[in-house]
A = this chain, B = another copy of it.
């Protein structure tokens, strides 16, 4: 899990995914010679900060978003949010501006948020939760498990993947925007009819820690039932622990597949976390293991 700890230390708030993208490219070039199948790797300025890996003859694409929620400095000591971070007074935030590194506390005052850094911070500076990773026998806890664990899963399954796309996306936490291009590219370069969203969901009254990977029947958006039934039937057959999620809120890269100009079935499959979008996101290691196993099974059998 060295790779996971390293990637958890990188800041990459939506719109500023360059460094996490470069980190993932390094991992890929280090590892790909050991993978069962060597993928075609697509990246670079024409792909903004996105990365696509094409293995064999894809039937299914896996999408994992690289960006995180966070904050941006406005005027004076005001902050505004990027995506939907939990606003907990006193939370430590970190970043960099033209004068150097920044570490400050989040001040929550009714409808407004501020920082307490002694000097002005450059307008438009990104701030992230200060990282504090805690791992024991049962759980991993820290900031940005959403979606570092989704990236971890996406990289892990590359080891044995024979056919499929593994795609690293941007902007998911702030409305999206890279998916329409990525889907067009995929449909031209190696078309698929199916997609899995490698992302982290919520612990709720029906989805619990250590219950296995969550297969989402719906969130705010509703995938086509025919495909969901197919995924659930395979999950049953796999023998891997899973739990079914039914929510009426929340979204993922699946939303942009739904509303794209391509008819691609999609399903969100991911471990659930507690303390969503806070510095203390918490995931059961068992659920993460089930997530990786389930992706290996589904990518082989879908």
Q: Mark A225-251, 1 if CB is under 8 A from B, else 0.
A: 110100000000000000010111000
CB of A180 closer than 8 Å to a CB of B = yes
Q: Which of A162-209 contact B (CB under 8 A)?
A: 171, 174-178, 180-181, 183-184, 204-206
A15 to B204, CA, bound (A): 23
Q: Which of A47-82 contact B (CB under 8 A)?
A: 47-49, 72-76, 80-82
Q: How far is the CB of A76 from chain B (nearest CB, A)?
A: 8
Q: Are A174 and B123 in contact (CB under 8 A)?
A: no
CB of A124 closer than 8 Å to a CB of B = yes
Interface size class of A (residues with CB under 8 A): 35 or more
The chain B residue sitting closest to A67, CB to CB, is B222
The chain B residue sitting closest to A46, CB to CB, is B263
CB of A224 closer than 8 Å to a CB of B = yes
A225 to B124, CA, bound (A): 10
Q: Are A221 and B259 in contact (CB under 8 A)?
A: no
A48 to B183, CA, bound (A): 17
Q: Return chain B residues, CB-CB under 8 Å to A183.
A: 261
Q: Which of A61-109 contact B (CB under 8 A)?
A: 72-76, 80-82
Partner of A246 from the list B73, B178, B181 (CB cut-off 8 Å) is B73
A81 to B180, CA, bound (A): 28
CB of A39 closer than 8 Å to a CB of B = no
CB of A258 closer than 8 Å to a CB of B = yes
A64 to B76, CA, bound (A): 31
Provided the pairs A15-B223, A177-B258 are in contact, do residues A47 and B80 lie with their beta carbons within 8 angstroms? no
Q: Return chain B residues, CB-CB under 8 Å to A171.
A: 222, 258
The chain B residue sitting closest to A249, CB to CB, is B80
CB of A33 closer than 8 Å to a CB of B = no
Q: Are B259 and A222 in contact (CB under 8 A)?
A: no
Q: Return chain B residues, CB-CB under 8 Å to A72.
A: 217-218, 246
Q: Return chain B residues, CB-CB under 8 Å to A224.
A: 15, 48-49
A12 to B32, CA, bound (A): 46
Q: Are A180 and B15 in contact (CB under 8 A)?
A: no
Q: Return chain B residues, CB-CB under 8 Å to A18.
A: 225-226
A113 to B174, CA, bound (A): 30
Q: Are B261 and A181 in contact (CB under 8 A)?
A: yes
Q: Return chain B residues, CB-CB under 8 Å to A176.
A: 259
A14 to B218, CA, bound (A): 12
Provided the pairs A16-B225, A224-B15, A246-B73 are in contact, do residues A175 and B217 lie with their beta carbons within 8 angstroms? no
Partner of A47 from the list B74, B204, B263, B265 (CB cut-off 8 Å) is B263
Given A123-B246, A181-B261, 9 new contacts (CB under 8 A): A74-B206, A74-B246, A75-B246, A76-B205, A124-B217, A175-B259, A178-B263, A260-B261, A261-B261
